[in-house]
Copies of this chain bind each other. A is one copy, B any other.
Amino acid sequence: MIHIFGGVILSAVCFLPTLSDMVGGLKISPIRRVAALLDQARQKQNLISFGGGAPSLPPPPEVVEHMCQLIEVEAKGACSYTGTRGIPELRELIAEDTRKWFGVSYDPEKEVIVTDGGTEGIYCAFMTLLNRNDEVILMDPTYLGYREAAKIAGARTKSLSVSVGKGFQPDVEDLKDLISPSTKLFVLLSPDNPTGRVVESDFARALVDLAEDHDFWIVSDEAYKHIVYDADHTPISGVKNAHERVVSVNTFSKEASIPGLRLGYALAPPEVVEAMEKIKQYISLAPNSLAQFAMVRFLQDGTKERYLKETVIPTYKKRRDFMGEQIHRHLPEARTTTPAGAFYYFVDMSSYLEKMDRTDEGFADRLLVRKSVVTIPGSYFGEGGTQHIRLTFVSEPEERIRLGFEAIDEYVTSYTF
């Protein structure tokens, strides 16, 4: 192709047709920067990871065994298309499970849709609920996927700030100040990533009242609903009157330790599920068949209860408590709260970072290069996360958590004394 500009022939230059304006405005997740640094660092022995938010346990043995059997005995069936909403058997078990744990009833045929992890649930919910220029209220800091998904849907976002001083609890009055006639959606993540906060029930009730008064939706990301250590947690869909304005987005990634299999589900009023199905048809057609059969087994015969009570919660709670002690001991000037749920400590490092003259990103980068310890910069989760770091406590056993903190201590001390 030859383009002529003012008589100059630019024959070697390749001109692609343009891309969409929307995609130009999207950010690639900064977690990818960390992944790239990790790839380099992986050469080193003994990298200690407080980074990713992935479970460190294998899935329950019953699930593993069932998957093996399925593939061996009926490979064709295990690898065949299913319906867009997922197989009826799994949807029924999901509805039963939700009733059993949280006392909330959903119609498995009309109010349950199986998704490719929580991510597709969030995306389909946003595309279903949002018009261009609608306003979405997000907490700050919060999980970094919401803001970009809202952009794809053409919506604007507003931030409800939370901070370590108040245990990362949102304030109802602050929320009221943010609500406008354009407010269409509030996104709640509880237990939270990155802070581990479980919202208080007073806030949840007030939020449902406000959603009713101002006619907006609540998308409740329940990724960590079972990863709760101290708090008494009920998803907001269980709050009185919440049912018809809440889209509850769930994933099996954390509770069944199968993040790579990409399976989750959403619970919502029939109109919303119907609309989400329409979008999902043209995004992914149907959920992964084998992952669905595996999760049928997970929800049968008490497998899930046993796995959570005997393996997941005790293992992660011990690590949480241990990491809490380590923070107290090695970073006495840091400010944080003990996470009531999820996988993370969110640590305000400003006292150290000021002395070190480093940003949170600079700190995390250098700590990885110098001491082979992976942490995530807090600013990746929003402005409110500036000068914080996120530390995952589920990835490493206690002994390696201890080694990681000794390394952090050495690194910080070498700079601040």
Chain A residues with CB under 8 Å of chain B are 1, 14-24, 26-29, 32, 35, 52, 54, 56-59, 64, 67-68, 71-72, 75-76, 78-84, 116-117, 119-120, 122-123, 127-131, 145, 148-149, 152-153, 184, 212, 215-217, 241, 244-245, 257-262, 269, 271-272, 274-275, 277-279, 281-291
Contact with A64, one of B64, B72, B152, B216 (Cβ below 8 angstroms): B72
Contact with A212, one of B1, B152, B215, B262 (Cβ below 8 angstroms): B1
A109→B141 CA distance, assembly (Å):
32
Chain B residues near A241: list those with CB within 8 A. Answer: 1
Q: Is the CB of B290 within 8 A of A260?
A: yes
Contact with A287, one of B145, B262, B282 (Cβ below 8 angstroms): B262
Q: Is the CB of B123 within 8 A of A283?
A: yes
Chain B residues near A260: list those with CB within 8 A. Answer: 78-82, 286, 288-290
Given A20-B130, A20-B131, 7 more pairs with CB closer than 8 A: A23-B279, A80-B260, A117-B285, A123-B282, A148-B278, A149-B282, A152-B279
Q: A14-B244, A123-B283, A285-B117 are in contact. Are A258 and B79 (CB under 8 A)?
A: yes
Nearest Cβ on chain B to A153's Cβ, whole angstroms: 7
Q: Is the CB of A278 within 8 A of B23?
A: yes
Chain B residues near A290: list those with CB within 8 A. Answer: 260-261, 290
Chain B residues near A258: list those with CB within 8 A. Answer: 79
Q: Is the CB of A261 within 8 A of B288?
A: yes
Nearest Cβ on chain B to A253's Cβ, whole angstroms: 8
Q: Is the CB of B35 within 8 A of A59?
A: no
Chain B residues near A291: list those with CB within 8 A. Answer: 288
Chain B residues near A52: list those with CB within 8 A. Answer: 81
Nearest Cβ on chain B to A207's Cβ, whole angstroms: 14
Chain B residues near A16: list those with CB within 8 A. Answer: 244-245, 269, 271-272
Closest to A244 in B: B14
Chain B residues near A56: list those with CB within 8 A. Answer: 76
A288→B288 CA distance, assembly (Å):
8
Q: Is the CB of B20 within 8 A of A153?
A: yes
A-B contact pairs, 11 of them (CB 8 A): A17-B216, A23-B275, A26-B282, A52-B81, A59-B76, A68-B72, A116-B116, A148-B282, A261-B290, A262-B288, A288-B291
Q: Is the CB of A283 within 8 A of B283?
A: yes
A229→B262 CA distance, assembly (Å):
35
Q: Is the CB of B35 within 8 A of A83?
A: yes
Nearest Cβ on chain B to A161's Cβ, whole angstroms: 23
Contact with A282, one of B129, B145, B215 (Cβ below 8 angstroms): B145
Nearest Cβ on chain B to A54's Cβ, whole angstroms: 5
Contact with A59, one of B75, B117, B184, B245 (Cβ below 8 angstroms): B75
Q: Is the CB of A54 within 8 A of B28?
A: no
Chain B residues near A148: list those with CB within 8 A. Answer: 278, 281-282
